[in-house]
Amino acid sequence: MGTKEAKYDFIGEFHQGVAIVMKNDKFGAIMVGGNEIIPPIYKALSAFENGIATAKYETFEHRIEERIINLSKQIQVDCGKETLFLPNIYDWGHNYVGEICIVEKDGDIGVIDKEGGIIVALGSYKYVVIINERLIKVAGESIESELRVLGHINLDTMVSDDKEKIVKMKSYTKWGLLDNKGTPVIPCIYDGIDPYDSYLKIRKENLYGIVSAEGVPIAPCIYDKIELFLFFYQSLQK
């Protein structure tokens, strides 16, 4: 058996320049000449007709789903009343909820928007669930996070008055903050985090303090109330 043949357990007949291959009971595809265009990662893969085929994939939830795939390894998903092909860097994509969808790659899970922008970077999460188009739950080994999204999440917009732009991270009953890639910015040590002018108001038990969006302490949690503090703080900086 030659080198090309040894790479796969089975190679089907070529049809329209493409052959289906199998390795370890997973299916992919090669072009004439042996160039692999679809890695053997799918539970099933039909013959390509006019550049598209039907692939079946086992998701992180252990469900078998079926999607259209093209010769560029782009998965087609539903997005409202339209369909679109995801960037080919992903192995699989779930249907969109609003304008965000869950994607998978090499066993990792992430979330992207309609333009392919990253909402939650690929990671080895236990699960990722889109509750609705503005709320995502992410569970790792030791934390459960709630990400509230409205378009792209950036540190300079998380502290706006629009609470939908806050990205909170919850570990049991404590709260912290995540950036737009799901990286912790403020550890889970507070009982509450809320926007306050251009900063974040933090709470430990019934006492309040202030931090910046980058997690830099401004005022410790020693105050019964914080209302006019920032007015005086900003005045002192001038």
* b (16+ CB within 10 A) / e for 116-139: eebbbebeebeebebeeebebebe
Query: 42 in a domain, yes or no?
Result: yes
Alpha carbon 141 to its chain's center? 16
What residues contact residue 159 under an 8 Å CB cut-off, 6+ apart? 195, 196, 198, 199, 200, 213
Token pair 């299916």 is found at: 27
Query: 90 in a domain, yes or no?
Result: no
Query: 12 in a domain, yes or no?
Result: yes
Q: How many domains does the chain have?
A: 1
Tens digit of each residue's pLDDT (9 = 90 or more) over 31-72: 999 999 999 999 999 999 999 999 999 999 999 999 999 999
Altogether, the residues listed in the chain come to a count of 238
Query: 182 in a domain, yes or no?
Result: no
Query: 7 in a domain, yes or no?
Result: yes
Pick from 179, 213, 219: which is nearest to 197 by CA?
213
pTM: 0.64
Per residue of the chain (238 residues), give pLDDT as tens: 344 447 999 999 999 999 999 999 999 999 999 999 999 999 999 999 999 999 999 999 999 999 999 999 999 999 989 999 999 999 999 999 988 899 999 999 988 888 888 888 888 888 888 877 667 777 766 556 666 554 333 333 333 344 444 556 555 567 777 665 556 677 778 888 877 666 788 899 889 998 887 778 888 999 998 875 554 455 445 4
Tens digit of each residue's pLDDT (9 = 90 or more) over 161-171: 444 445 565 55
Query: 95 in a domain, yes or no?
Result: no
Phi, psi of 173 (to 5 degrees): -105, 5
Query: 234 in a domain, yes or no?
Result: no
CB-based contact 235:204 (threshold 8 Å): no
Token pair 């007015």 is found at: 231
Supply the CATH number for residue 15's domain.
Answer: 2.20.25
pLDDT at 72: 97
Domain interval for residue 17? 1-73
- What is the C-alpha separation between 167 and 151, in angstroms, rounded? 12
